[in-house]
């Protein structure tokens, strides 16, 4: 793995805060960032992942697949370099005495973003948003936001609030999506899309402006609707694709037992999972047409070397 990540002292509050702060600056200041989203253009190679949920082995394999396991070279990225999307990083079910230490994956990924600001794209997801706002996520009896906070208190004691602030700042800096311009139709990577029942309150201009505090609010915010949405219909996906000039969506959030699945009966969305025992990523040569079929052909296992 990249030395900047391997050598990061995850027990040192100063080192963790510095990594998170550097990642937040890179999120906001990278040349690929416009308004609330990152932009890249073809020719490009894209390593697209799904929900990760603090799986360190899979993170290391994604970094290696994208060629980000060596120090960056000076100058602009080579056109042949791979881009990497990461999202739903935190809230693991591998707890230690009831505590969730997934702040560590946030710090590592922040350091990775700082090292490769134009090639790493850390997208906002619902678990990160929940940690930012303090809106509890409960699954299988685990209160994830509380378990994360308890780990910060245990690891950093009197410095925990300063680390917590750096965590929030890093999450607040994350783009809502990655857009790749493509002559065959643009590709949009996002954690999810709003559910059909929220479309009357969702602001589709969210991709064309900076996020505001109101966007993060539960029950009313467009960023909240986008990262929490489920049950999208083919008609809705087609309408969003037309509104945003997007021909294909790559998403997470839904459970894909085989690691990936086309979403619903439409032909313009694929869900990826990168956390469980059948986890995958998509390795896309974006000089070629990118379709549901080409995404499914490009899948690579994260559980088999």
Cα–Cα distance between 182 and 248 in angstroms, integer?
Answer: 11
pLDDT in tens, the chain (305 residues): 666 788 899 999 999 999 999 999 999 999 999 999 999 987 889 999 999 999 999 999 999 999 998 877 777 666 668 999 999 999 998 999 999 999 999 999 999 999 999 999 999 999 999 999 999 999 888 999 999 999 999 999 999 999 999 999 999 999 999 999 887 789 999 999 999 999 999 999 999 999 999 999 998 999 999 999 999 999 999 999 999 999 999 999 999 999 999 998 778 999 999 999 999 999 999 888 899 999 999 999 999 86
The pLDDT, as a whole number, for residue 288 is 85
Give tens-digit pLDDT for 142-194.
999 999 999 999 999 999 999 999 999 999 999 999 999 887 789 999 999 99
Give tens-digit pLDDT for 101-131.
999 999 999 999 999 999 999 999 999 999 9
The pLDDT, as a whole number, for residue 77 is 67
Q: Strands of 246-251's sheet, edge to edge?
A: 33-34, 37-41, 177-181, 186-190, 246-251, 269-272, 260-262
- Strand, helix or coil at 189? strand
- In SS3 terms, 239-296 reads as HHHHHHCEEEEEECCCCCCCCEEECCCCCCEEEEECCCCCCEEEEEECCCCCCHHHHH
- Residue 269 domain boundaries: 3-301
Q: How far apart are the first and last CA of the chain?
A: 15
Q: What's the structural domain count of the chain? A: 1
Q: Which one, of 44, 118, 42, lies nearest residue 80 by Cα?
A: 44
Residue 82's domain is classified under what CATH number? 3.60.21.10
């Amino acid at each position: 793995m990249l030395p900047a990540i391997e050598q990061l002292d995850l027990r040192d509050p100063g080192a963790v805060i510095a990594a998170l702060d550097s990642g937040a600056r890179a999120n906001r200041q990278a040349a690929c960032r416009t308004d609330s989203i990152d932009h890249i253009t073809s020719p490009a190679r894209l390593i697209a992942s799904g929900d990760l949920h603090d799986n360190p082995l899979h993170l290391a394999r994604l970094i290696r697949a994208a060629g980000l396991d060596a120090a960056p070279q000076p100058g602009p990225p080579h056109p042949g370099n791979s881009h990497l999307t990461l999202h739903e990083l935190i809230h693991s079910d591998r707890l230690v005495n009831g505590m969730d230490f997934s702040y560590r994956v946030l710090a590592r990924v922040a350091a990775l973003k700082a090292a490769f600001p134009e090639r790493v794209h850390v997208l906002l997801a619902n678990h990160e948003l929940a940690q930012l706002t303090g809106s509890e996520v409960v699954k299988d009896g685990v209160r994830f936001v509380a378990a994360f906070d308890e780990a910060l208190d245990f690891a950093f004691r009197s410095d925990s609030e300063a680390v917590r602030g750096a965590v929030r700042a890093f999450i607040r800096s994350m783009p809502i999506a990655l857009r790749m311009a493509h002559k065959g139709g643009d590709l949009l990577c996002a954690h999810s899309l709003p559910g059909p029942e929220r479309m009357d309150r969702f602001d589709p201009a969210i991709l064309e402006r900076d996020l505001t505090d109101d966007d993060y609010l539960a029950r009313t915010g467009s960023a909240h609707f986008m990262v929490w949405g489920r049950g999208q219909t083919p008609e809705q996906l087609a309408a969003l694709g037309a509104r945003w000039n997007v021909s294909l969506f790559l998403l997470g959030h839904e459970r894909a037992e085989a690691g990936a699945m086309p979403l619903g009966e439409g032909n313009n969305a694929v869900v990826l999972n990168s956390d469980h025992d059948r986890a995958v990523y998509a390795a896309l040569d974006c000089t070629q047409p990118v379709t549901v079929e080409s995404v499914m052909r490009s899948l690579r296992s994260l559980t088999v070397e």
